[in-house]
Chain A
């Protein structure tokens, strides 16, 4: 099996399974769409936490940057959801490039707290300062202004489902490529020993800046997709109290892995979707799952799946081949 085929197999298989799930559970289209978008959001946080070892309490800010950029474009400037997505990507890039040099100088708890601070500032800006544009707590509505997109009219929820899967596939492929690239290895090496990287001649500041910007872009893409999907945004998207959601999802999925963000998003949204029907405080189960992961499965759900199923399957196939072809 060629390396390229092996590299793209996982992402394609995951998207295929989501497509199959859509037909087996047709009433879960909204859930799978939300899962795809949330996975991208978790991936952004995973670059910071899983790869670079930086905890951020401000990811909702970057999410709302993308969401409001797309929303403001659709509400006032244009009609194309695709251009709105591009606006989200550009805003995420700009925010990452501008804030990165200031934030990544800070270590550990200071980095986490400055992000919490920017999140609070961001909330104030959209809720109060720019109330004339964002309409504050009432939110911004623009669904009727959204125009038809070529090939697939993504204004329709059923079509948007395919569009979200396509974006997830592209990002998963790029994410996997990054994981195996110099950049991915450099991220992980910085998490283990940043000083050692400098001994080797790496400008770790630049590498962390790139990581921060990528995280910001992914969060903004996710925000823009939310904005296009729902047809409205309100400040609750960027509330600092929601910062724990993406952190917990990253942790339970398996930090620093390609598929961990998907499983984290699935675990988090799955509990929310399933348990919230019966118990108001569904977060209790997320808490229990998080404790389980922290104490028993440090590599998260994906780490468990990888170890207990995939690795054992590989070993069985290997031993089967050896029995069949002993030489």
Chain B
């Protein structure tokens, strides 16, 4: 069981990122403590996904620093960041569609040398019945479950999830919400989420982003429950 501590697992300081000449992140700073669920909210184009992709090593930063477990990961390639225990689940819900669910999970296992699927299948029992199915034939919710399950193999210490509930049916969101709480018992989560009630339900800290900047940070649980961060959107 992972308890919330004041130990900072992720520290992003004054991060600036550009796509060629177009600057998209301006002095972004966030902190994530071990055991937290941190949500990042904001309208489309606010720079949330760019922030995640930069932390995960897919986009080069212009300036600023990114520390994961006190290690500077700002210039590491994506696969090395993942190997350190920081996993990123993008919003595109792309699995290895030609491969079976079992083979997709095996790829997660090979990368991390974690061949014990019991824990991740416990979070998503439905996957047990789909192991032989081609991943390309899964529904959106099932794909998301598979992606999260693959990312969780190897017990990552921090998982970045980009809009995990986008486009999913309410009952699937409900299942995922329950799973996030279970996952958070072992792993720190940072989630980009447009679903504000879900954010209010699971988050301990909420960063609001607008036009490439962090414009507010909400840490008070009551304020989060009342969704005060909505006013910044």
Contacts and interface: CB of A to CB of B under 8 A. Distances in A.
Do A and B actually bind? yes
Interface of A: 182, 185-186, 188-189, 191-193, 195-204
19 contacts: A186-B107, A188-B98, A188-B99, A189-B107, A193-B94, A195-B58, A198-B58, A198-B77, A198-B79, A199-B90, A199-B151, A200-B79, A200-B82, A200-B107, A201-B79, A201-B82, A201-B83, A202-B79, A202-B107
Nearest to B156: A201
Contacts of B87: 199-201
Contacts of B97: 192
Interface stretch (B108-116, B121-129, B177-185, B191-199): B108-116
B66 interface: no
Given A198-B79, A199-B88, 18 more contacts: A185-B107, A189-B99, A192-B96, A192-B97, A192-B98, A192-B99, A196-B95, A197-B79, A198-B77, A199-B78, A199-B90, A199-B151, A200-B107, A200-B108, A200-B111, A200-B150, A201-B83, A201-B154
Contacts of A182: 106, 110
Interface string B40-83: 00000000000000001010000000000000000001110011
Of B77, B98, B110, the most chain A CB neighbours within 10 A belong to: B110
Interface string B11-25: 000000000000000
B73 to A, nearest CB: 13
Pairs A-B, 9 closest by C-beta atoms: A201-B82, A201-B111, A198-B78, A201-B83, A200-B111, A182-B110, A192-B96, A189-B96, A198-B79
B89 interface: yes
B31 interface: no
A131 B58 CA distance: 48
Interface residues of B, number: 27
Interface of B: 56, 58, 77-79, 82-83, 87-90, 94-99, 103, 106-108, 110-112, 150-151, 154
B96 A193 contact: yes
A188 B150 CA distance: 17
A203 B96 contact: no
Contacts of B106: 182, 185
B26 to A, nearest CB: 26
A126 B96 CA distance: 43
Of B82, B87, B106, the most chain A CB neighbours within 10 A belong to: B82
Contacts of A195: 58, 90
Of B58, B90, B111, B150, the most chain A CB neighbours within 10 A belong to: B111
B99 A197 contact: no
A205 B84 CA distance: 18
Given A182-B110, A201-B82, A201-B112, A196 B99 contact: no
Of A186, A189, A192, A200, the most chain B CB neighbours within 10 A belong to: A200
Nearest to A206: B79
Contacts of A186: 107, 110
Contacts of A198: 58, 77-79, 82
B56 A199 contact: yes
A120 B90 CA distance: 42
Contacts of A200: 79, 82, 87, 107-108, 111-112, 150-151
A285 B156 CA distance: 55
Contacts of B94: 193, 196
Contacts of A192: 96-99
